Structure 1
Amino acid sequence: MIGRLQGLLAEKNPPQVLLDCHGVGYEVDVPMSTFYNLPALGERVTLLTHFVVREDAQLLYGFGTADERNAFRHLIKITGVGPRTALSVLSGMGVADLAQAITLQEAGRLIKVPGIGKKTAERLLLELKGKLGADIGPHAAVTHDNQADILQALLALGYSDKEAAASLKALPKDVGVSDGIKLALKALSKG
């Protein structure tokens, strides 16, 4: 229906923006990941959109990247996850973090998102596995276990999801758990 909007950014009221497209103002709900990357008021912006028609409303959701919109569309197909919850998930964690949580089957990271309980998190992991999770290479079994263990160790030491996930990306794919933790801690202490 409406796949993309391009216009001037007229208002910013999280999580909603008003986009002026040749004199027509569109109210668009966006995840915080998109909101933080918006230009200043009066600047030109392009948003990929998803249009939802309900009996009582017509709602427009906007995204800065195709990956965000794709993740949103996968999320809303899951029973019990509506557009508001999907927006909350994408606001609470980026697409890369969500894909990693799905790949590593980490319900704990999803539960931290407001509105996501244990059952919903487990349903998300189950239904999105293979659809949104990142493929982690040829040594998937060993790498999966090692990376999950390294990530859990970093989280237990008090690092945020974002910090821990960023340090994992810098590690060699076939690193052992103890060496991986040491390398990650060294990288985190420099940052």
Structure 2
Amino acid sequence: MIGKLTGTLLEKNPPQILIDCQGVGYEVDVPMSTFYNLPALGEKVSLLTHFVVREDAQILYGFGTAPERVAFRQLIKISGVGPRMALSVLSGMSVGDLAQAISAQDSGRIVKVPGIGKKTAERLLLELKGKLGADLALTGAGPAQSDVQSDIQQALMALGYSEKDAAAALKLLPAEAGVSEGIKLALKALAK
């Protein structure tokens, strides 16, 4: 029903945020991976969403990237896995890490997520085999690289640069740059 929200970020109270969309405030629950990449309060934000209607509540979940939303939707299809647990999984590990764990059938990585036991992890691996791992392993072919770039972007944003400036600086970096070298190169590029 509600597929995307674009508006002004008013509040951040993990894992919930408040977005003002032309006078209407939407409370949105987001995974920590999305939360850490949010702009400062008062700035424009755009999130893909998933709307859940239950007997006792209507809850909107938001995601910074399409693969996060795809993974969330695949997770909640599994018996015994609700939206809260799916959000916990996406907060505890990146989509690329989840895809790798599914492809490798490695329950040990999923058990590290708070609230996920051995039986639930094994059920996740069984249910998602062939559904999530193959798709996202191809799109996230370099999860280590994306983690490096994510770390660089978060460092730049912590130094006061906007998400847009940080993303532009990331595009100028060589693919093999590490975190510390990447930050130095990005700062030089932004200083010009």
State the match for 1:121 in structure 2. Answer: 121
State the match for 1:166 in structure 2. Answer: 144
Letter in 1 for 2:8: L
Letter in 2 for 1:166: A
State the match for 2:160 in structure 1. Answer: none
Report the identity percentage: 78
State the match for 1:48 in structure 2. Answer: 48
User: Are positions 1:106 and 2:84 aligned together?
Assistant: no
**In 1, Cα distance between equivalents of 2:69 and 2:6:** 16
Unmatched 5+ stretches in structure 1: 138-164, 170-187
User: Are positions 1:68 and 2:95 aligned together?
Assistant: no
Letter in 2 for 1:68: E
The offset of 1:166, in angstroms, is: 2.6
Partner secondary structure for residue 74 of structure 1: helix
State the match for 1:173 in structure 2. Answer: none
Partner secondary structure for residue 134 of structure 1: helix
**In 2, Cα distance between equivalents of 1:87 and 1:75:** 9
Q: State the Cα RMSD in Å.
A: 2.2
Residue-pair matches, total: 145
**In 2, Cα distance between equivalents of 1:81 and 1:111:** 14
**In 1, Cα distance between equivalents of 2:56 and 2:134:** 37
Partner secondary structure for residue 2 of structure 1: coil
Which of these two proteins has the greater Rg computed from alpha carbons? 1
Structure 1 runs of 4+ aligned residues shifted over 4 Å read: none
TM-score, length of structure 1 as denominator length: 0.71
TM-score, length of structure 2 as denominator length: 0.71
State the match for 2:80 in structure 1. Answer: 80
The offset of 1:134, in angstroms, is: 3.2
